[in-house]
Structure 1
Amino acid sequence: MFAAAWTASPQLPSEGFTPNWSREGFWRQSLRQVVRLTAGGERVRVRFSNAYGNSPVRVAGGSVAVGGSGVRLTFGGGSAEGEMPARGELVSDAVQLAVEAGESVVVTLYFDTATGPATFHAQAFTTSYRGGGCLLDEGGNGFTEASESWYFLSAVETDSGRTDGIVLFGDSITDGFGSTPGADRRWSDALASRTGRAVLNAGIGGNLLLNDSAWYGERGVGRFGRDVLRPAGVDTVVVLLGLNDIGFSETDAQPTYKPAPVVSAGEVVAAYRELIRQAGELTVIGATLLPFGGSDHWGERAAKVSYEVNEWVRCSGEFDGVVDLNRVMADPGDPDRLHPAYDFGDQLHPDDEGYGVMADAVARCL
């Protein structure tokens, strides 16, 4: 049985937080991407998403490698070429490639025709590479451009047979903003190391529970089925989402936050109930929102709404379990603020140490 060992949530092509290639796409170019798996196996298959593409995307060739040893990908029962349907996905055939949990795999694609705008994941916090021509069998020398996003790549699966995978469903905190780029220090990475289970990251920076965003992805209640229910081998989801719904309307500093309707605690709670309903038989763990006093999301109304939401998470009994990240991550001298030792520097996102503390807290409640 194949189960997901790594995922990234697809997003609409956009300018994103940093320069990227999503709007221009690829033509007569090779794309090399590196991802860290959280489950091992003897065989691997790869999923590619064209969820936001209006026309098919031809893949002229692909490969997957680990530790210097690689194999060519095939599609549809043995073809060296494949096609991602418009608004659909392409799944490779299973290939023989032994991998271990914690190892990184390298996925390379060659596009000989224009892809058009590319479905992507904006904030990878690891480097992807692009070069001219077909570089499937080449080392790194031909890859002359770099980007910190993932393109088309949405999942890597292994034949682990595991059915105890965990999905972390959230925003930039789950995505790993504030962690050291290239070091795999997100709290999803830390939780996988602490539990020995596959941990799948379904975070999107800036994501909202209740509203779609051209920059920050489909609303949480809309993408939950794709990003949480579809991956194989999952039995638990941890929900940490809603802070942007509460805080975006507090600031005019980021035009990408707009539109940012003012939301009530009741609206956020209704969205949580909808996620619980959609989850069905999955174990759903609710996480309280982290302290964010002093950040650009903070204000009198946001403080009140976040307090009410967190009290509901703690006391309602509607989640299968609760992890109180708000209390775990708070400054002992000012519980409205993130602990200084865990603060990346914007009073909103944790640093590497903070993400490790979050992983410890979740591991204790599993």
Structure 2
Amino acid sequence: MRPSAAPWFETWAEKGFTNQSVRQVVRVHTGGTRVRIRLSNAYGGTPLRLTGASIGRTAGGAAVHPGTLRTLRFAGSRFITVPAQGRVVSDPVTLPTEPLDELTITLYFEEPTGPATYHQLSMATTFRAEGDHHRSPDATAYTDTVQPAYGSWYYLEGVETSGHRALPRAVVTFGDSITDGFGATIDGNDRYPDLLAHRLITAGRPRPVLNAGIGSNKLLTDSPLGGDAGLARFTRDVLDQPRVGTVIVLIGVNEIQQTDEPVNGTKEDSPPVTARQLIDGHRALIRAAHTHGVRIMGATLTPYRGSAGWTSEGEAVRGQVNRWISTSGAYDAVVDFARALDPDGAGPIRGDLHIGDHLHPNPAGYRAMADAIDLALLDH
């Protein structure tokens, strides 16, 4: 995401980094013998100079198991300049991994980066140290974390595993904050995509489950908080990912309930969205996926009755869109997330399945969503 003038919470993105090491922890869903990382300067106005990078197995907090720490190189060099609006991929390094292993990626920026390309909501702790500590397994120098502790990821676009196993095709989960995992446990890996990955592993069908959710994201329009519109970012965030087999789409509620946000940088409020506009947007995603040979699963829009943005008019639009998703046959498959969170059909998310705002699931709600997916429909 581009650093926003109106972020949900304070991050390091606006000022960027100078002579600082940034340590980020991610969990992988498939094992292998080698790993590499992808870095993005998608929203950078100037080239990004990376002075050093490393990867290793997480030892808890900001610590790394010393025997696993590997220096990352880019075309053989420890240094790399990422062009403005560009991306780079590291050389692979030997590092055996198993499904659900946690890996720590450390980036050292000696020179000022300027405002950072970042993902605002990580629901994972990111650590920062003054000076160059990218080769240190010790956590002592990493005394700074983002507060509040929702966390953000900086420049890190992805981690890829490869090696001795034939890798299955990936599942990409695409959507807004409910896919992103707002309301999940910090550092708990209990967003719905995490829990889906765990189900696949338990069932003997391990595969990468990529989280392409962005909090406050909209399908049709760019947003100061939610970044590029879903339609605009679908190719980059879904179709350009490695070995994508299936995408699960859950997006549209923000269009319905956020009607007072300026449109695409103007000072005018968003006009009420219609069901037809949202359906047309979903059809565009379906066409794009099919053009690339990707199976696409539609998810019914989740309830939000009782939340600050709920209106009866908006509820009618949600109902129309959900009927189309469920009955039109346009999607290759459907998962009924609305029923998973409102199993009795009462209207709102059931009280024990949301965080108190009647909009975002809690870990139990995310579990219900992951459990609602027919795993057989992901085999593609």
TM-score range, shorter chain: over 0.9
What does residue 13 of structure 1 align with? 3
Q: Deviations over 1:3-57 (max 9, x none)?
A: xxxxxxxx11125212101010001111100111111110001001000001110
Tell me whether 1:276 sits opposite 2:286 in the alignment.
yes
Give secondary structure in 2 for the equivalent of 1:335. coil
Does structure 1 residue 88 correspond to structure 2 residue 86?
yes
From 355, 359, 366, the equivalent of 2:366 is 355
Cα distance change on mapping 1:149 and 1:104 into 2, 3 Å: same
Distance in 2 between the 1:249 and 1:72 partners? 47
Which of 236, 240, 244 is the aligned partner of 2:250? 240
**SS across alignment from 1:303:** helix
**Number of the residue aligned with 1:305:** 317
Q: Which residue of 2 aligns with 1:226?
A: 236
The answer as to whether partners of 2:53 and 2:71 remain within 8 angstroms in 1 is yes
The question of whether the paired residues in 1 share the 8 Å contact of 2:355 and 2:362 is answered with: yes
The equivalent of 1:7 in structure 2 is none
Distance in 1, Cα, partners of 2:300 & 2:128: 39
Show the counterpart of 1:6: none
Does 2:168 match 1:176? Answer: no
1:36 aligns with one of 27, 46, 66? 27
**Amino acid in structure 2 at the alignment position of 1:112:** E
Whole-angstrom distance in 2 between the partners of 1:93 and 1:340 = 48
Residue in structure 2 matched with residue 325 of structure 1 by the alignment: 337
Give the AA of the match of 1:279. A
Percent identity, aligned pairs only, is 42
Matched, 1:211 2:224: no
In structure 2, the residue corresponding to 1:273 is in which secondary structure? helix
Between the aligned partners of 2:49 and 2:267, the Cα distance in structure 1 is 34
Aligned mates of 1:269, 1:52 — CA distance in 2: 29
Distance 1:18 1:227 in 2: 24
**Structure 1 residue matching 2:305: 3-state secondary structure:** coil
> Could you tell me the TM-score, scaled by structure 2's length?
0.89
Describe the SS at the equivalent of 1:337.
Answer: coil
Letter in 2 for 1:312: W
User: 1:245-256, aligned counterparts within 5 Å?
Assistant: 245-249=255-259
> Which segment drifts farther, 22-31 or 334-343?
334-343
Letter in 2 for 1:79: S
More strand by share: 1
Q: 1:61 aligns with which of 52, 57, 61?
A: 52
Match of 2:161 among 141, 145, 158: 158
| TM-score, normalised with respect to structure 1 | 0.93
* One-letter amino acid matched to 2:256: I
1:294 matched to which residue of 2?
306
1:261 aligned residue: 271
Say if 2:54 and 2:70, in contact at 8 Å, map to a contact too: yes
Distance 2:346 2:210 in 1: 30
How big is each residue's C-alpha offset from its partner over 1:48-81, in whole Å with a ceiling of 9 and x where there is no partner? 10000011101000000014121000001x1111
Deviation of residue 213 (structure 1)? 1.2
In the alignment, what sits opposite 2:350? 339
Determine the structure 2 residue equivalent to 1:5. Answer: none
Please give the alpha-carbon distance, in whole angstroms, between the structure 2 residues aligned to 1:259 and 1:144.
42
Q: 1:55 to 1:355 in 2, by over 3 A?
A: same
Query: What displacement does 1:311 show?
Result: 0.5
- Relative to structure 1, the CA distance from residue 210 to residue 134 in structure 2 (aligned partners, 3 Å threshold; closer, same or farther) is same
Answer whether contact 1:244 1:297 (CA < 8 A) is retained: no
CA distance in 2, matches of 1:164, 1:361: 21
User: Does 2:211 align with 1:201?
Assistant: yes
Distance 1:41 1:302, change over 3 A: same
- Provide the rounded CA distance (Å) in 1 between the counterparts of 2:274 and 2:280: 10
2: CA distance, partners of 1:109 / 1:338: 40
Offset at residue 297 of structure 1 (A):
2.3
Offset, 1:86: 0.4
Aligned length: 352
Map 1:117-156; keep pairs closer than 5 Å: 117-138=115-136, 139-147=138-146, 148-156=151-159
Distance 1:25 1:182 in 2: 23
SS at match of 1:278: helix
Pair 66,267 (structure 1): closer, same or farther in 2 beyond 3 Å: same
* Counterpart-to-counterpart distance in 2, 1:257 and 1:37: 42
Query: RMSD in angstroms over aligned alpha carbons?
Result: 1.8
- Contact (CA 8 Å) 2:168, 2:207: kept in 1 or not? no
Q: Distance in 1 between matches of 2:239 and 2:192?
A: 21
Question: Which structure would you say has the larger RCO, counting Cα contacts within 8 Å and 6 or more residues apart?
Answer: 1
